């Protein structure tokens, strides 16, 4: 089962205290997490900054490189890349409301935060 992750899903361990991959295991069991190239680039840009956001992006980038397969795509913008790859995946993971809406409109189930530290699945 292929699952595409957005930038904020990878930054969630620092920003929200969520154990992203443990939560995906809980919800889905066996799964194949993937990350778009544009998401890795966005994490690199954010990690070059300072403060908590940079720390979260650095952790997210390390998690993505360790836990996810990198996927190439046509889109240059991270959200568009998640949507593009979402069409070829069973799920997308994001808490970005505009992106969630776009994914659901495209019939891609979305996994997002419920409460503070748990994920839930929203079906289209």
Q: Write out 8-24 in H/E/C secondary structure.
A: HHHHHHHHCCCCHHHHH
Residue with tokens 């994490």: 43
Q: Has residue 116 got a pLDDT over 80?
A: no
- From 17, 20, 16, 15, select the one nearest 93 (Cα to Cα): 20
**Average pLDDT of the chain to the nearest whole number:** 94
Token pair listed for 122: 């929203």
Q: In this predicted structure, which of 28-37, 87-96, 111-120 has the lowest mean pLDDT?
A: 111-120
Q: Report the predicted TM-score, pTM, of the whole model to 2 decimal places.
A: 0.93
Domain ranges for the chain: 2-122
Torsion angles phi and psi, residue 4, rounded to 5: -95, 135
**Mind listing the pLDDT tens digit for each residue in 34-81?**
999 999 999 999 999 999 999 999 999 999 999 999 999 998 899 999
* 51-67 and 7-15 helices, crossing angle to 10°: 120
Looking at domain 2-122, its CATH architecture is 3-Layer(aba) Sandwich (3.40)
């Amino acid at each position: 089962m292929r699952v595409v992750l957005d930038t904020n899903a990878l930054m969630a361990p620092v920003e929200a205290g969520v154990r992203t991959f443990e939560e995906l295991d809980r919800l889905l069991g066996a799964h194949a997490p993937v990350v778009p190239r544009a998401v890795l680039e966005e994490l690199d840009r954010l990690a070059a900054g300072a403060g908590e956001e940079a720390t979260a992006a650095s952790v997210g980038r390390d998690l993505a490189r360790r836990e996810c397969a990198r996927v190439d795509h046509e889109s240059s913008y991270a959200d568009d890349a998640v949507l593009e790859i979402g069409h070829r995946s069973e799920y997308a993971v994001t808490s970005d409301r505009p992106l969630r809406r776009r994914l659901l409109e495209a019939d891609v189930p979305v996994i997002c935060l419920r409460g503070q530290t748990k994920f839930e699945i929203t079906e289209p």
